[in-house]
Amino acid sequence: MKSNHLFVRGGAGDTTAAEATRAQDNLYLSVNGEWAKTAEIPADRSTTGGFADLAVGVEERLLTDFAKFRQDLTQIRTPELQEAVKLNQLALDFKKRDEDGTRPADAMLNKLDKLQNWSDVNQHLADLIKDGTALPFSLGVEPDMKNTSVYLLYVDVPGLILPDKTYYAADNESGQQLLAVWSEMAIAVLQKFGYDETQATQLVDQAKAFDAAIVPFVKNSEELADYTKQYNPYEFADFLKLTPEIDFATAIPEILASTPEKIVLTQPKYFENLSKLVTPATFDQYKSWLIVNEILSTTGFLSEELRQLGGTYGRAISGQKEAANQEKHAYRLANGYFSDVVGQYYGATYFGDTARQDVTAMIKTMINVYKQRLANNAWLSQATKDKAIVKLNNIVIKVGYPDQVRAIYSQLKIKTAAEGGDLLNNILNLAKIFRLDNFAKIKQPVDRTRWAMPGNLVNACYDPSFNDITFPAAILQAPFYSLEQTNSQNYGGIGAVIAHEISHAFDNNGAKFDEQGNMVNWWTDADYTAFEERTQAMIQEFDGISYAGSQVNGKLVISENVADGGGLSCALEAAKEDDDVDLKAFFNNWAKVWRIKATNEYRQLLLSIDVHAPGPLRANVQAQNMDDFYQAFDVTEQDGMWLAPEDRVNIW
């Protein structure tokens, strides 16, 4: 009689447990089970493991460097990095921050307090947008998805209090608990700003009422995962007819210094219903929502007491036990606003050009493997294969760090305490410079040299509108990549990550964009139908898998799963070209890369909003799809990792 754990998607056992088992039953636990027994999540973080551990190491290295820089600004090699350290110094001066209290926010809040009705909002709308004020919409300039040589204005929805629309369901206990935490925190913060408890409670209740009114008209994370549906172009004149309550006709030409012919609505349903949110009867609710949002947004830049208090809700969402200490907080602020500058410093100092050339060569190898796999593909027509290879030939490779940071960083100047500056108003000024720079792009050619990620970020990405792949220096270390590791290990790590990003060019979203990043259909109808059948099989393979007391949403995670499957199969083929290939080492390192220990709150959050499947399932299910895995570990029908050949999903 067969054991009852057979045919388990994701392997036998609980992948969040701290227990080791055989690779044949659970690859992820066989590699990471012992580690999980002793691994501890830092109090100021919500996870530990592969990506998180590397991020901690990068941060510790840069914390040490920033401490040296603060002692002597003259040793800093670029003026942009000097400004980053000045911001770091200002953020670390908690004596001044505590003495200043809420005073730095007075001018901003006094300006908002004068808004008495929607007419006042419309009268000052352009300035409110430039200042980044909380409004019932948001604006940003991005490449036109159908013509990526030009920029368009995208009009988006406002953010919600809770992490996702699904949290507002009556039966969602996490949502109710989080809203209670948010309310208690917001009331306490408002009292620090001089409101009495009754006033604060009324403001918070009205803010929640306005937030609740937004919820029915916006999409949830699963719906947003199909991001091509966020491209809804409108003639500017038609958009103005849709939203007469807001004076976009005056404000948008002012902030863009030109009148656009067309704009893009990310969620038309919301704007079709905006008239229900913008009425004389809702103004008091909106103003409360505005004041509460604006006050909460300042707390991280004021006193230590407000920094701690204002972070309560964020820590509740992720299960993080403590706020980052003051030194980390000050570094993260500087890194956040000077990300490309810090990333370039990190890459040039700790990565260097030799490693950049080595990884670039590896990427080109993976692209060639991908081309060969496409050439041998049995379910695509030659016409679609040819177009796919053209797209591969045009992928732009960005490795390590940029040679130059964007010109915007030379505009960022910090007003020090000696010059009468305070942290909050420096931050407001920096944010405004970035905002205005974004609006100014509307008349400029699209900058294809820009980097989507800084060099000190432990991550990688593919951008369909640019058809480029970015591998920051920070991810290019063990267990992903190291000269100390075997080729098999490196292919199971960075090789699979490289091929994963290449595969995004052909996932359910990326497949809709051509070699220039334009959203045009380059598939034959029959080929795209065959592709959709395969993606549907991947959705079903992951949908409903139990994880952390809940279940995976197959539709939410489909694009990343298509990329994982393509990445692993492509890296596997490259590894097998090596004379000394060790498939066990390949799969073991693949599983090691995805090791994670997380708070339960963070796991629940990711299941709700993250387009990636949980790390342990990325490790196991994708391995189950590879025939070579069964041969490498002698997996049989009696083992927990067995999936029948007809149930294995392979697309690329």
Q: Which residues belong to the active site? A: 501, 564
Identify the helix (H) or strand (E) that includes residue 152.
Answer: strand 147-156
d(CA 187, CA 498): 47
d(CA 149, CA 441): 12
**Nearest to 201, CA basis, from 187, 217, 189:** 187
Identify the helix (H) or strand (E) that includes residue 143.
Answer: strand 138-144
Residue showing tokens 């600004």 = 73
**Nearest to 200, CA basis, from 190, 210, 208, 192:** 190
CA 295 to chain centre: 25
Q: How far separated are the first and last CA of the chain, in Å rounded?
A: 36
Cβ neighbours of residue 538 closer than 8 Å, sequence gap 6 or more:
554, 558, 561, 562, 565, 649, 651
367 touches 502 (CB < 8 A) = yes
Cis peptide before 454 (omega within 30 of 0): no
**Nearest to 557, CA basis, from 1, 9, 5:** 9
295 touches 189 (CB < 8 A) = yes
297 touches 428 (CB < 8 A) = no
Could you write out the DSSP letters of every residue in 366-384?
A: HHHHHHHHHHT-SSS-HHH
d(CA 557, CA 234): 30
Question: Residue 220 is encoded by which pair of tokens?
Answer: 């949830």
Task: Tell me the pairing of strands 147-156 and 138-144.
Answer: antiparallel
